[in-house]
Amino acid sequence: MTKPAATVTPNTWEFLRDPMIKPTGFREYDARWKYPDEINLPGVTALGLGLGTQMRRRGIDPVIAVGNDYRDYSLSIKNALIVGLMQAGIQVKDIGPALSPMAYFSQFHLDVPAVAMVTASHNPNGWTGVKMGFDRPLTHGPDEMSELRDIVLNGSGEARPGGGYEFVDDVQEAYLQDLVGDFRMTRPLKVVCATGNGTAAAFAPELFRRIGVEVVESHTTLDYTFPNYNPNPEAMEMLHDMADSVKASGADLALGFDGDGDRCGVVDDEGEEIFADKVGVIMARDLSKLYPNATFVADVKSTGLFASDPELQANGVTADYWKTGHSHMKRRVKEIGALAGFEKSGHYFLAEPLGRGYDCGMRVAVEICKLMDRNPDMKMSDLRKALPKTHSTPTMSPYCSDTEKYSTLDRIVAKLTAKAVANEPIAGRAIKEVVTVNGARVILDNGGWGLVRASSNTPNLVVVCESPESEDELRAIFADIDAVIRTEDTVGEYDQTF
């Protein structure tokens, strides 16, 4: 295998011949590159050869399910990946265009040990990537990604005989049937279904109709130019559009999905955007009645209510705060036998008997409909208002390059830890502790907190804050955390603020 170059000039003979892969595309738990600036098609083939070689070295049965999201270049990238996998002697089962959770489902449905999903997830057009895994329902974490990176970038991929290809065209229907099961709504429910013209448009409206939900379609025509907005239910642009649709249609709630369908965003009947961590608390309250003494995992960006909510405490819930990232969360849910995991970004990980442990926006949408069915006298706004009141920011991402973000974060964490040691306040309050499992979560004496971490899949830091007291205190927490961040000249502008 040719050792890939870090850069190859576009529109040259070499660009069409030689593999080019920018090393920073190998991230903590999946791979992301700008295409074709940071990876070319021969580079994708080298990635496939490396992934197949990794399977062989680990003694995994050489069969893999492969899918792609709905972007105009994803099919070309998938085909290039398949060529590399077949070179490594892997039997490829191509499931066609898919959601990431449909690809994860296919591992179970087709009984294959490995999966590779070509998707840029919620990243805007111009990005591509691969989510992959060997140990269902898990996906590659840092150890597997660093191993893969070394195989690929060192040119250590090994060609072997035995590769093959099969197109499997019935997985989409099996996936929908699995989601629906025998459930049908017993109360009327009108839902705005928002897909931002992304891949979920081929799934979500049909799914809702099958379970007896009245559907208000919002940008559900497949269009890989994303003419309205980038499908990302963590972005306020999409959430505000969902809120407008709820108000215009009189719907009971809105459910929105990202570009590859593994995340779900929620807006209630009053047009209030409910961040996914709060939706997680609403779901945890409902599920802990059915499954007392359950354990729930929440990522470090999530609300403190998983630990402090009196109703969860009364139901015997154990809250476990863990590293942000779909691979980290899936692994933690499985390791400690949690019923579910919740991530502020909108990834939900529902384990048996609710789901199979992987993140699936469609499965969460069905479970939210079931929750509404179990509470026929309640509106989504009633469930939101029943939670203890907290004030929180959206997820905010200031620019910081991939090559500098981790060293920058280390310095910020050290400065925040030093403030705690020196008994310096944040927002006029004492720092109770600084949790450093994933960046720094600075927890104050009243339960308020501010988090800084490095994004695992884009050149950014990530900042989230929450106050149990007031909007003013929330702004003060953010101002003091941001003041520390601004001591680093490697940090740029925020993508959004509040």
- CA 425, CA 445: separation in Å to the nearest integer? 10
Rounded CA separation 321/306 (Å):
9
Task: Measure the CA–CA gap between 52 and 212, rounded to whole angstroms.
Answer: 43
DSSP letters for 87-129 = HTTPEEEEEEE--HHHHHHHHHHTT-SEEEEE--TTSPTTEEE
Round the CA-based radius of gyration of the chain to a whole number and report it.
22
Angle between helices 471-485 and 405-421 (to 10 degrees): 120
Distance from C-alpha of 431 to C-alpha of 451, rounded to nearest angstrom: 13
What is the DSSP annotation of 187-246?
A: S--EEEEE-TTSGGGGTHHHHHHHTT-EEEEES-S--TT-SS----TTSHHHHHHHHHHH
* Residue 251 · residue 204 · CB < 8 Å: no
30: number of Cβ within 10 Å: 25
> How far is it, in rounded angstroms, from Cα 174 to Cα 361?
16
Contact by Cβ (8 Å): 348, 305: no
The CA angle 106-112-67, to the nearest 5 degrees, is 45
320 forms beta bridges with: 297
Burial zone of 108 (CB within 10 Å; 0-12 exposed, 13-18 middle, 19+ buried): middle
**Catalytic one among 100, 121, 288, 327?**
121
Active site residue 121: yes
Distance, CA of 444 to chain centre: 28
Residues assigned a catalytic role: 121
